[in-house]
Amino acid sequence: MGMTMTEKILARGAGRDSVRPGDLVLAKVDFAMGHDLTIPPAGKIMREQMGAEKIWDPERVAVTQDHFQPAKDAASATLGRLTREFSHQMGIKWYFEVGQGGICHTVLPENGLVLPGELVVGADSHSCTYGALNNFATGIGSTDLACVLALGELWFRVPETLKFVYHNRLKEWVEAKDLILYVIGQIGVDGARSKAMEHTGEALRHIDMEARLTMTNMAIEAGAKNGIMEFDDVTKEYLDGRAKRPYQPVTSDPDAEYEKVFEFDVAKVELGVARPMSPDNYAPLSEVAGTRLDQVFIGSCTNSRITDLRRAAAVLEGHKVAPGTRLIITPSSHQVAIQAEREGLIRTFLAAGAAWTTATCGACLGGHMGVLGEGEVCLSTTNRNFPGRMGHPKAMVYLSNPAVAAASAVTGVISHPSEVLKHMPAEIR
Amino acid sequence: MTLPKVLRGRAWKFGNNIDTDQIIPAKYAIYSLDEKELGKHAMEGVPGRETWASQVGQGDIMVGGSNFGCGSSREIAPVAIRGAGVSLVVADSFARIFFRNAINMGYPILQSPQASEAIEDGDELEVDLEQGIIRNFTKGDEYRSDSFPPFMNELLRMGGLVPWVRKQLEERRRTAGVRG
């Protein structure tokens, strides 16, 4: 009997010829990540409770200062300091200081640190993002991370795999974000609970790497353990000149077993949003158009890479943010910010009256630089809109793609981007 | 730290898809290293349960619906619930990272769709952890919980992943010593 990509990676990590869904395995980890909220507890558990003095491999760990950094208050400055000290004391090679890294899930792929065929863990739920690069990547807790840092190994339950086959091509304006919101709307926030989401089909060939990362990023919003994609020319091109280690792509066997197969004609997927207060609360844009907005946020590990910012800028070019609405734009990494500056995107944002911030998770998790107050309504390019996610539990958050967010900032209400820009230029679609 | 065999307490009932930002709003992540402080704000993000942490008694039992603890990987979610004094969480089903985190902490959780459905807020419960049986004194009912794979039971019995890693490290040191 054949194996899925996910099963093959876990089998290799466990040093076994094969594994089956439901097996519990102890597997070697190829790369691990932690940040300013998860490194301090993990470091403390590892040193004080587990009694480990050093980490298993300083070259296979990345640490970012992204969640509450630049420090939003004195307490987060302490977390930043503990994160910095631990990284330096352990000699962690891939430590990204404030102003030099950004959001972990953008920083690791853009630096070629998470590669095909690898077993990757991150002490952050959106670590599933990396799976677009043909690896097994999953979010873990701080005790988990402490275990990995000490031993280079961790226990896993081999997940059942759900296969998602995408046919045809997305229509104009419809982005990977709309597709994944639609899929989560179909299966629900626990539709893939503890399972692997394997995305495949010819539609993906026309979806670039950054948009693919948006899709795997949201696997956790369906409750999945990981999201994973095949290795192809798009993957290879993205990794050429970027990959920091040699890598070995992995493919699912033709006779691999899937718990369920879902087929989608993506040409039928409409531009859409997730309504408050759950990422599976999908609605076609037409149903929510006209909803008045206090804030629009373009940011996060989901939708604030350079291609996202290009589309937002194309919509905003020559326009102003509507009175009564505020627009906050947070690039997802320092490299994205540098590129946005080079391409003149920042000038467009500033001229439109947007607040342009440093790279940070910031507003997405109600941290800082855009936290919502009671009763406020926000359209956000982020991943999660459970009660209180971006601030007050009674704030209302809609999730959308960046072009919809930019257009809605111009009109002050949820709007189709074609109301502001006739056609998205083909080269940045 | 070993777990008591039988736990008794009042049930506090919560719904489906209670996510980690409701269990402990991210703004309290600054108290990541302070379990008691986190406990004071547990469940504050659940509409209508803003003051729950001041009402819960030591040893009380939390009962959730499906996909309990979805959302973030932050371990402060189960830490906050433990910090509030809750001795055990029973749910219809758990989101995977919450589940891992609880097991890794050696914090008892039980999966029981039957219990989650039948138990009401305020019911008096007794839980036999070894047998996986939940008794409801208020209703005179008894519910079974799903069994865990042996490795997870072993982790829970040992007190979580910390003692397990300590053991692994000791073995590695011994092997290295022999070789050296």
Which pair of structure tokens corresponds to residue A170? 């997305």
Distance from the Cα of B128 to chain A's closest Cα (Å) equals 25
Q: Is A340 domain-assigned?
A: yes
Percent of chain A with pLDDT over 70: 100
CB nearest to B161's CB, from A37, A143, A387: A143
The CATH number of residue A367's host domain is 3.30.499.10
Residues A316 and A419 in one domain: yes
Q: Which residue of B has its CA nearest to A147?
A: B165
Residues A46 and A122 in one domain: yes
Domain boundary among the residues A269, A298, A319 is at A269
Q: Is A3 domain-assigned?
A: no
- pLDDT per residue over A155-196, tens digit each? 999 999 999 999 999 999 999 999 999 999 999 999 999 999
B108: left (phi over 0), alpha (psi -120 to 50) or beta: beta
What is residue B2's predicted lDDT score, i.e. its pLDDT? 61
Mean pLDDT over A392-405 rounds to 97
Q: Is A238 domain-assigned?
A: no
Q: Does this complex have an ipTM over 0.90?
A: yes
Domain boundary among the residues A217, A239, A269 is at A269
Q: Is A15 domain-assigned?
A: no
Confidence of residue A1 (pLDDT cuts 50, 70, 90): confident
CA distances A176 to A139, A189, A417, Å, are 22, 18, 16
Q: Is A217 domain-assigned?
A: yes
Mean pLDDT over A411-422 rounds to 98
Residue B5 has pLDDT above 90, yes or no: no
Question: Side-chain half-sphere of B49: how many Cα atoms within 13 Å?
Answer: 23
* A 342-361 residues inside an 8 A Cβ radius of B: none
- pLDDT per residue over A316-362, tens digit each? 999 999 999 999 999 999 999 999 999 999 999 999 999 999 999 99
Q: Is A243 domain-assigned?
A: no
Domain locations along chain B: 6-179
Mean pLDDT over B100-108 rounds to 96
Residue A219 has pLDDT above 70, yes or no: yes
CB nearest to A52's CB, from B66, B96, B169: B169
Domains in chain A: how many in total?
3
Residues A219 and A302 in one domain: no
Residues A217 and A361 in one domain: no
Residues A283 and A256 in one domain: no
Contact A69, A36 (CB under 8 A): yes
Q: Which residue of B has its CA nearest to A121?
A: B73
Residues A396 and A297 in one domain: yes
Q: How many CB atoms lie within 10 A of CB A171?
A: 13
Residue B42 phi, psi dihedral angles, 5° rounding: -60, 135
What is residue A79's predicted lDDT score, i.e. its pLDDT? 97
Does B6-179 carry CATH code 3.90.1150.10? Answer: no
Distance, CA of A40 to CA of A143 (rounded, Å): 11
Q: Do B97 and A140 touch (CB under 8 A)?
A: yes
Residues A180 and A285 in one domain: no
Per the prediction, chain A carries an average pLDDT of 98
Domain boundary among the residues A157, A182, A209 is at A157
Q: Do B21 and A141 touch (CB under 8 A)?
A: no
Q: Which domain holds residue A117?
A: 24-157
Q: Do B75 and A37 touch (CB under 8 A)?
A: no
Q: Is A105 domain-assigned?
A: yes
Residues A109 and A187 in one domain: no
Residues A348 and A215 in one domain: no
Distance, CA of A220 to CA of B61 (rounded, Å): 27
Residue B73 is which amino acid? S
DSSP states along chain B: ----SEEEEEEEE--S--BHHHHS-GGGGGGTT-HHHHHHTTTTTSTT-TTHHHHPPTT-EEEE-TTBTBS---THHHHHHHHTT--EEEES-B-HHHHHHHHHHT--EEE-HHHHHH--TT-EEEEETTTTEEEETTTTEEEE-PPPPHHHHHHHHHTSHHHHHHHHHHHHHHHHHHH-
Q: Is A129 domain-assigned?
A: yes
Residues A207 and A317 in one domain: no
Distance, CA of A109 to CA of A289 (rounded, Å): 34
What is residue B176's predicted lDDT score, i.e. its pLDDT? 86
Distance, CA of A309 to CA of A271 (rounded, Å): 18
Q: Is some CB atom of chain A closer than 8 A to the CB atom of B142?
A: no
Residues A35 and A93 in one domain: yes
Residue B1 has pLDDT above 60, yes or no: no
Interface contacts (A, B; CB < 8 Å): 144
Contact A398, A379 (CB under 8 A): yes
